Structure 1
Amino acid sequence: MFGFGRRGKRRKAAGEQGHALGAEQGGEHDGLPAEDGFDGPYDEKEAPADQVSRLDLGSVRLPVPDGTQLQVEVAPEGEVQAVHLVTPVARLTVSAFAAPRSGGLWQEVSKELAEQLRGDGARVVLEGGDWGTELVASSPEMSLRFVGVDGPRWMLRAVAASSTEQSAAAGAALREIVRGTVVVRGDQPMPVRTPLPVELPEAIAKHLAQEQG
């Protein structure tokens, strides 16, 4: 068994809360469109007017299939560290980071991830994907697929964690989410690799506060 590299190990102490997304929320998140019309991820300034309902997490807006479970990792001091979309085939995590104008950050990050995961005992394979290099790390118990996309002053990193048997389906689900994602970088200067802040919608934040209270 292995984790998500060094960053993932630091997150193990974070608490997790669950919340379901889907039609029961009155259509707030209506899921992915039936047709495959995505060709993102998109920068906020180029986001399409496609009428797709997306989960707004501040720095990323994600299309979410009906019935997906939302897992939130919260640090002891209350800061949201990560949000995971739990589907029948995989747990999907999409995060955005500050990147240089010149791009190319994912190439650096993918090499570092490969070294870290090999150090954790995983078998690591680099594959060509829709946006370039995809990294697949596997053990007998589980599979991790990392997809990275370089955008204008941001880098998107998406991860699918699944059983080895569901690896192919998990990869397809992850790519579909990435294609419909909108990244909100903002104009403020940030050091390269700084995670863009994650913010929960008010309704979900209240729900989690009630569960914790």
Structure 2
Amino acid sequence: MGLFGRRRRQEAEGATGVEDYDRDDFDDDFADDEYEEVGGDLFDGAGPWDEDEAPDDGLNRIDLGCLRLPVPEGAQLQVEMDPAGPVRAVHIVTPVGQLTVTAYAAPRSGGLWHEVSTELAAQLRKDGATVRTTTGEWGLELLAALGEVSLRFVGVDGPRWMLRAVVAGPPDRLDNSAAALYELVRGTVVVRGGQPMPVRTPLPIELPPAIAEHIQQAQEGGA
């Protein structure tokens, strides 16, 4: 096993730039079919947390620059790299499904999730998915079924940021996957930063230095 316990996926998958890690690999770096319009409330200070209001709760979180995520015990992390070099996403793989959290620049007035969810529902239907809406802990949620995969999307409008979280898993584990998604979102801290950014711009993901260096070495070794 390598320095961070990286596991190589099948070659066909490796070409997509996805690297797998165990949660423990990061220990040293932790310090209805019709769309229904349902409005959500603006971030109210109760998880996910803005950096300025993050609790001192002792929860271990991995620092990804714009996000600090509490990774569940036994989870495996997948780092998805863009061909141009930047990190595209970090996925958390659990027995009940794959969880992904993304943060975006948003207007001070909020309301971006409602716009994004409308577009997302339309795109999912275009891709052949069955989509319905529901109301959850943070307001509007999307539930989608595509083939043998069930998807649940949660969105939260925060102060100058919007958080979108999704879990993809088997249909027979819907309740468990929803619980895992909620727990992840409740403990997430968003680091927006003060720089001006166009609305909808993904906040940049930064890997812990040791992990970034290890990935670079692996890429150079495979060149």
Query: Which TM-score tier does this pair reach, normalised by the shorter chain?
Result: 0.7 to 0.9
In the alignment, the residues of structure 2 paired with residue 26 and residue 100 of structure 1 have an alpha-carbon distance, to the nearest angstrom, of 35
Q: Which has the larger radius of gyration?
A: 2
The answer to whether 1:162 aligns with 2:169 is: yes
Report how far residue 77 of structure 1 moved.
2.2
- Map of 1:17 onto structure 2: 19
- Map of 1:55 onto structure 2: 62
- Map of 2:146 onto structure 1: 139
| Match of residue 77, structure 1, among 84, 87, 111 | 84
Report how far residue 169 of structure 1 moved.
1.1
Q: Match of 1:136, SS?
A: strand
Q: Match of 1:173, SS?
A: helix
Report how far residue 211 of structure 1 moved.
2.8
- CA distances 1:158-205 after superposition (whole Å, capped 9, x unpaired): 010111112221111011000000000001111100000001011221
What is the aligned-residue RMSD (CA, Å)? 1.8
**Contact between 2:29 and 2:208, CA under 8 Å: does it hold in 1?**
no
| Match of residue 44, structure 1, among 39, 51, 58 | 51
| Match of residue 192, structure 1, among 199, 202, 206 | 199
In the superposition, relative to structure 1, how do residues 139 and 119 fare at CA in structure 2: closer, same or farther (>3 Å)?
same
In the alignment, the residues of structure 1 paired with residue 28 and residue 205 of structure 2 have an alpha-carbon distance, to the nearest angstrom, of 23
Aligned AA (1:197): P
- CA distances 1:90-122 after superposition (whole Å, capped 9, x unpaired): 100001000000000001111111100011110
Aligned AA (1:181): T
Report how far residue 15 of structure 1 moved.
1.4
Task: For structure 1, list consecutive stretches of 5 or more residues without a partner in the other structure.
Answer: 1-12, 31-37
- Map of 1:64 onto structure 2: 71
TM-score normalised according to structure 2 size: 0.82
Q: Match of 1:84, SS?
A: strand
In the alignment, the residues of structure 2 paired with residue 85 and residue 26 of structure 1 have an alpha-carbon distance, to the nearest angstrom, of 15
The answer to whether 1:94 aligns with 2:96 is: no
Q: How many residues align?
A: 193
Task: For structure 2, list consecutive stretches of 5 or more residues without a partner in the other structure.
Answer: 1-14, 32-44
In the alignment, the residues of structure 2 paired with residue 25 and residue 110 of structure 1 have an alpha-carbon distance, to the nearest angstrom, of 32
- CA distances 1:140-174 after superposition (whole Å, capped 9, x unpaired): 41011100000000000001011111222111101
